[in-house]
Amino acid sequence: MTTAAASPETRRLQRAAQPALYAGNRVQLLVGGDDYFPALLAAIEAAARSIWLETYIFADDRIGRRVLDALEAAASRGVRVTLVIDGFGGDEHARQLARELPPRGIAVHIFRPERWWRLERKLLRRLHRKIVVVDDALAFVGGINILDDYTEVPTSGSGRRAPRYDFAVALRGPVVAAVALAAQRLLWTLALAQGRKPPGPPPRLRMQRAQPAFADGVPVALLLRDNLRHRRSIETAYVATIAGAREEVLLANAYFIPGRRFRRVLREAAARGVRVRLLLQGRAEYAIQHYGQQALYGDLLAAGIEIHEYTASFLHAKVAVIDGRWATVGSSNIDPYSLLLAREANVAIHDAGFAAQLHAELERALATRSTALDRAAYAHRPWWQRARDALAYAVLRWAAVVLARGRDY
């Protein structure tokens, strides 16, 4: 492996990707809904003062009803409960909740209630992040919606159902104040966008309210993406960390359609001897994204990058481990929708112990629930498959260029 000094561009990227780092946090990895929902329900049931729950989807299913029951019980005992749901992801059920829950003590906000048939450029600027803050002391950040993952993911041939493969983290410590601030700022922004008087001055981080640091805690950064102040924060953090990688990049992502800069740093990492592995979606959940990302595989495989397709169920993860010391978990895919349009939230954990835990989980998925692509076989796919993938990719990139123009909330 080469050990050349970082290039000027790499050093520039690393300086640009310096989000606030909060020391002394405890981080718990939650794998899928089987880990996440029991932890979330326990936190809601223990809440004493406030609950903020922000999600893209809040489904009217088994899980959605359990969470809703817990929120209503919390409100009935005097806890201040705020629910924010994206207008597109939440669909009609979100609007129903906005009508029914306020009399029960739950404040409901719909982010961008525009209907899908309104052909506006801002239509796809959605709220895609998944954030929960309880009593300003515990936060959850990840990619898991309020949705029963078992309802739509049949396992082939087994007659059983498997959950989507996804992750979240539970956080305690000083970084929770930053997560709470991101939630407060969303309400302030919504009020302005809807022509209402904002609830007071713009929220600011009050470190005197922050939870004390744990002596055994770890450094964590909150990575946000929006269309105003943080347009490229998540992408820049990824690119800068990959550009500085010396040993390994292991990335799992549901929708992987990165831009030229992202692909370049992956190829350069592989060229200098870094092992680069991608765990990507193996099932065609959304056809245009699925085939569009396959248009990039040939170039990546030719650069020595390993690609594995997750086939046990639908992959919904947005995580990475780099050099065994830096890990990220969150809601952001590596595609134009997440990187150029939607509001997203990831956390970056700077800790070898947490990175090792996430790495081991991804290694199990690579070994038992995925299939490695063969470079030679992929290069000899039928012409019509290559044409289909190229067309899907062209449509996605064109749409991204048109829709990502301009700044809007």
pLDDT in tens, 150-174: 866 655 555 567 889 999 999 999 9
Q: Which residues pair with 58 in a beta bridge?
A: 146
pLDDT at 256 over 60: yes
pTM of the model: 0.90
Specify whether the backbone of 188 is left (phi greater than 0), alpha (psi in -120 to 50) or beta. alpha
What is the pLDDT averaged over residues 280-285? Answer: 87
Catalytic residue among 316, 335, 359, 389: 316
pLDDT at 69 over 90: yes
Catalytic (active site) residue 323: yes
pLDDT band at 285 (very low <50, low <70, confident <90, very high): confident
Class of the domain covering 8-194+214-403: alpha beta
Determine the distance from the C-alpha atom of residue 271 to the mean position of all C-alpha atoms in its chain, rounded to a whole number: 28
Q: Which residues pair with 408 in a beta bridge?
A: none
Among 25-29, 273-277, 405-409, where is mean pLDDT lowest?
Answer: 405-409
pLDDT band at 206 (very low <50, low <70, confident <90, very high): low
pLDDT band at 307 (very low <50, low <70, confident <90, very high): very high
pLDDT at position 258: 92
Catalytic residue among 60, 323, 351, 408: 323
In this structure, what are the phi and psi dihedrals at residue 365, rounded to the nearest 5 degrees?
A: -65, -40
- Between CA 4 and CA 10 the distance in angstroms is 12
What is the pLDDT averaged over residues 202-224? Answer: 82
**Is there a contact between 183 and 52 (Cβ–Cβ < 8 Å)?**
yes
pLDDT at position 291: 86
Q: Among candidates 249, 211, 268, which has minimal Cα distance to 355?
A: 249
pLDDT at position 22: 95
Identify the residue with better confidence: 177 or 15: 177
Sign of the torsion angle spanned by Cα atoms 95, 99, 100, 106:
positive
Catalytic (active site) residue 197: no
| Beta strand extents in 183-299 (DSSP E only) | 218-225, 248-253, 275-281
Catalytic residue among 86, 135, 148, 335: 135
**Burial (CB count <10 Å: 0-12, 13-18, 19+), residue 263:** middle
Is 113 strand, coil or helix?
Answer: coil
Tell me the helices (H) and strands (E) count for the chain, helix number first.
Answer: 13, 15
Catalytic residue among 109, 130, 308, 359: 130
- Between CA 337 and CA 335 the distance in angstroms is 6
Identify the residue with better confidence: 29 or 404: 29
pLDDT at position 16: 54
- Between CA 252 and CA 366 the distance in angstroms is 10
**Is there a contact between 132 and 53 (Cβ–Cβ < 8 Å)?**
yes
**Is there a contact between 111 and 190 (Cβ–Cβ < 8 Å)?**
yes
Q: Among candidates 249, 252, 253, 294, which has minimal Cα distance to 389?
A: 294
Q: Which two tokens stand for residue 116?
A: 């899908």
In this structure, what are the phi and psi dihedrals at residue 199, rounded to the nearest 5 degrees?
A: -75, 75
Q: Which two tokens stand for residue 351?
A: 């800790």
Q: Among candidates 326, 324, 328, 330, which has minimal Cα distance to 350?
A: 326
What is the pLDDT averaged over residues 382-394? Answer: 88
pLDDT at position 230: 77
Q: Among candidates 351, 356, 330, 86, which has minimal Cα distance to 222?
A: 330
**Is there a contact between 64 and 90 (Cβ–Cβ < 8 Å)?**
no
Radius of gyration of the chain (CA): 21
Tokens 């744990």 belong to which residue? 214
Q: Which residues pair with 218 in a beta bridge?
A: 25
What is the pLDDT averaged over residues 182-206? Answer: 74
What is the pLDDT averaged over residues 75-80? Answer: 97
In this structure, what are the phi and psi dihedrals at residue 152, rounded to the nearest 5 degrees?
A: -125, 5
**Is there a contact between 146 and 33 (Cβ–Cβ < 8 Å)?**
no
Catalytic (active site) residue 316: yes
Residues ≥6 apart with Cβ < 8 Å to 255: 281, 286, 289, 293, 333, 334, 335, 337, 338
**Is there a contact between 53 and 84 (Cβ–Cβ < 8 Å)?**
yes
End-to-end Cα spacing for the chain? 44
pLDDT at position 139: 98
Catalytic residue among 128, 290, 308, 359: 128
Which residue ranges make up each domain of the chain?
8-194+214-403
Say which DSSP state 57 is in.
-
Catalytic residue among 109, 290, 308, 318: 318
- Between CA 329 and CA 169 the distance in angstroms is 7
pLDDT at position 15: 56
- Between CA 14 and CA 32 the distance in angstroms is 31
pLDDT at position 404: 57
Catalytic (active site) residue 93: no
Helical (H) or strand (E) element with 284: none
